[in-house]
Amino acid sequence: MSYYGKPSFPGVNKAKIAAVVITLVIIIIVMIESVVIVEAGHRGVVLYLGAVENRVLPEGIHFIIPFVEQVVQMEVRTQKFQAEASAASNDLQEVQTVIALNYELDPKEVNKVYQLLGVNYADRVISPTIQESVKASTAKFNAEELITKRETAKGVIAQTIRNTLTPNNILVENVFITDFKFSDAFESQIEQKVVAFQKFLTEQNNLRSVRVIANQNVVQAEAAARANIAKASGESEAIKIITGQLRSSPEYLQWQAINRWNGKLPYSLGTGEGLPFFKLPKLNTQNVTRLLPTDSDKLNVTSGMSVNKISPVTAR
């Protein structure tokens, strides 16, 4: 008998080993299936044999019944949805716009969202809501008002979207209207109207400038008139005073003439009253006559001698 042959194990021992291995594998699988981790920014919707349970799992590790319960994770962080929408304004102008929506799911009601709308709730509810809200809200405004009252139109559209999505446990945070687009013909009309309005404002400013200048001229004319009136009144009072002075003192004119005299005598004198300040004494005609030559004196003048002319006496 040889001691180096292969050891033989009974069949019972092999079955036990296989059972242990299978059991360990099953235990590991069961443990894995009974533990679920809800990621950050998500909530867990628990399904019991496919039915939605009335509980929501928060973030973290949770234990569930393996193979019976399963968890569907729903994101509850702020999300963005953008859609293009077309509508008609109150004056039947075609309007195209792009709506951007920030929203989040109600963390406490994500199980109802999943039960009623599923994971594709954005395409099922949000997109149709934006289209319908834009059509209903745009019809309340004229095309021009969508530009001039942009914030008001934005508020009406946002409120309509909120009123529709809130009952579905979708909370709207912000609504952004990226742009309003109109037909080329309407945009051309708007541009022409804006240009015309700017010209109108320019003409108004020019008219105001003309009015200001005219008012300034009126004020200056009134001031000049008041100055002339004051000057005339002053001169009238001065004349009255001068007249009174002349009446009371005739020498007043002589005093005025002396004050205004420049110190020069005239080059020629008139007869009698030439000097304003004083009177020259009148020449004695008898003395002048004596100085003139007689006829006998003229006969005594010898030839070769020049006759002296006697100039009349003048006073300086």
pLDDT-based confidence at 201, cuts 50/70/90?
confident
Of 85-89, 98-102, 250-254, the poorest mean pLDDT is in 250-254
Does residue 273 have a pLDDT over 90?
no
The answer on pLDDT for 108 being more than 80 is yes
For residue 265, pLDDT beyond 60: yes
Statement: the pTM of the whole predicted model exceeds 0.85: no
Token digits for 244? Answer: 């009174």
Cβ–Cβ under 8 Å, residues 105 and 165: no
Question: How do residues 109-130 score in pLDDT, each as one tens digit?
Answer: 999 999 999 999 999 999 999 9
Q: Closest Cα partner for 46 from 104, 107, 115, 124?
A: 115
pLDDT-derived band at 293 (thresholds 50, 70, 90) equals: low
Average pLDDT, the chain: 78
CA–CA separation, 257 and 238 (whole Å):
17
The enclosing H or E element of 32 equals helix 11-34
Cα-Cα-Cα-Cα dihedral sign, residues 207, 208, 211, 216: negative
Q: Is pLDDT at 184 greater than 60 in this prediction? A: yes
- Split at pLDDT 50, 70, 90, the class of 37 is very high
Q: pLDDT (tens digit, 9 = 90+) per residue, 232-247?
A: 887 777 777 777 766 6
Tell me what the mean pLDDT of segment 256-267 comes to: 68
Phi first, then psi: what are they for 111, rounded to 5°?
-65, -35
Between 127-138 and 150-165, two packed helices, what is the crossing angle to 10 degrees? 140
pLDDT for residue 279 is more than 60: no
SS3 at position 305: coil
Residue 313 has pLDDT above 60, yes or no: no
What pLDDT shows up at residue 309?
A: 44
pLDDT at 110 (0 to 100): 95
**What's residue 246's pLDDT?**
66
In this prediction, residues 183-194 reach a mean pLDDT of 69
Q: Where does the pLDDT of residue 304 fall: very low under 50, low under 70, confident under 90, or very high at 90 and above?
A: very low
DSSP letters spanning 73-138: EEE-S-EEEEEEEEEE-TT--EEEEEEEEEEEE-GGGHHHHHHHT-TTHIIIIIHHHHHHHHHHHH
Instruction: Look at 49-53, 144-148, 261-265, 299-303 and tell me which has the smallest mean pLDDT.
Output: 299-303
pLDDT tens digit sequence for 49-97: 989 999 999 999 999 988 899 999 999 999 999 998 888 888 888 888 8
Looking at per-residue confidence, does 44 or 242 come out higher? 44
What is the set of domains in the chain, with CATH numbers? 11-75 (no CATH), 79-182 (3.30.479.30)
pLDDT for 216: 82
Whether pLDDT at 177 is above 60: yes
Arithmetic mean of pLDDT, 34-56: 93
Q: Which amino acid is at 134?
A: V
Residue 163, CB-side half-sphere exposure with 13 Å CA sphere = 10
Q: DSSP letter string over 229-280?
A: HHHHHHHHHHHHHHHHHHHH-TTHHHHHHHHH--S---SS--SSS--SS-PP
Task: pLDDT band for 305, please (50, 70, 90 cuts).
Answer: very low
Residue bearing the bigger pLDDT, 33 or 166: 166
Cβ contact 124:189 at 8 Å: no
Residue 35 has pLDDT above 60, yes or no: yes
Check residue 119 and give its pLDDT.
Answer: 92
